[in-house]
């Protein structure tokens, strides 16, 4: 008799738990925004540290007729064509063996033609993170990176949204970006 009673208690407990999960799921579902029926939906995705893509395009320029022969950029283009996705790619000014100022202009017109959905922005001076970066070095690198992007792509290829390396900006850098460097939307 006791075993039947425990089975009944367990069975009732499982039913109550199942009902609680169902009610909780319904409440979560009700809190979701309505599905948009707009034909103007846009997806915007950003990637950090895409410096190697540009290095590859530069170093293999004679082997590429189009930037979309690069696997990464080809995938982005396919996502753009299929879903209307727009991308911001965040780059370093330099690393140990490449400086963005040396980027080939062979693909400039192609970057410019795709600037409505493919943008570039400053990420950091170099891949190695330095929380104690000198403000003058930061400002110089920021401007150098923007000039380089305008040179190898076009000013229309500059993103208006920044994503700093490791989402880090000290008060001097942030002051420069919001006052001295123009009004920027800073993602951090």
User: In this predicted structure, what is the pLDDT of residue 103?
Assistant: 93
pLDDT for 111 beyond 70: yes
Whole-structure pTM value:
0.70
SS3 102: helix
Which helix (H) or strand (E) segment is 25 a member of? Answer: helix 2-30
- Say yes or no to pLDDT of 32 above 60: no
Predicted local confidence at residue 85, as pLDDT: 87
The per-residue pLDDT for 54 is 92
What confidence score (pLDDT) does residue 110 get?
Answer: 97
**What is the pLDDT of the chain when averaged over all its residues?**
79
Q: Specify which residues 98 forms β-bridges with.
A: 95
Q: What would the two tokens of residue 81 be?
A: 């064509």
Q: What share of the chain is helix, strand, coil (3-state, %, to 5)?
A: 55, 15, 30
Question: Does 61 or 175 have the greater pLDDT score?
Answer: 61
Q: pLDDT band for 118, please (50, 70, 90 cuts).
A: very high
Paired tokens of 108: 């400039």
Domain map (residue ranges) of the chain? 1-32, 44-187
Q: Is the pLDDT score of 75 beyond 90?
A: yes
pLDDT digits (tens, 9 = 90+) for 145-171: 889 999 999 999 988 777 665 556 666
Q: Give the integer Cα–Cα distance in Å for 5 and 32.
A: 41
Residues with Cβ within 8 Å of 48's Cβ and at least 6 positions away in sequence, in order, are 90, 123, 163, 165
- Residue 180, pLDDT > 60, answer no
At 99, which helix (H) or strand (E)? strand 98-99
pLDDT in tens, 53-72: 999 999 999 999 999 999 99
The stretches of 31-134 forming alpha helices (DSSP H) are 51-59, 71-83, 108-113
| 158 DSSP assignment | B
Burial class (CB in 10 A: 0-12, 13-18, 19+), 184: middle
| Dihedrals phi, psi of 25, to nearest 5 degrees | -65, -40
Return the pLDDT at 188.
Answer: 31
């Amino acid at each position: 008799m006791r075993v039947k009673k425990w089975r009944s208690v367990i069975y009732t407990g499982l039913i109550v738990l199942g009902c609680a999960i169902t009610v909780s799921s319904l409440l979560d579902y009700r809190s979701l925004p309505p599905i948009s029926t707009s034909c103007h939906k846009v997806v915007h995705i950003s990637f950090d540290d895409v410096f190697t893509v540009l290095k590859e395009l530069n170093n293999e320029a004679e082997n590429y007729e189009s930037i979309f022969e690069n696997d990464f950029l080809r995938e982005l283009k396919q996502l753009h064509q299929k879903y209307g996705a727009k991308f911001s790619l965040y780059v370093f000014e330099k690393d140990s063996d490449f400086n963005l100022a040396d980027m080939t202009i062979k693909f400039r017109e192609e970057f410019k033609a795709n600037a409505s959905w493919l943008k570039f922005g400053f990420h950091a001076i170099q891949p190695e993170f330095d929380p104690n970066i000198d403000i003058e070095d930061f400002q110089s690198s920021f401007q150098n990176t923007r000039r380089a992007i305008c040179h190898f792509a076009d000013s229309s290829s500059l993103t208006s949204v920044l994503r700093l390396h490791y989402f880090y900006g000290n008060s001097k850098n942030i002051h420069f970006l919001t006052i001295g460097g123009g009004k920027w939307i800073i993602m951090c």
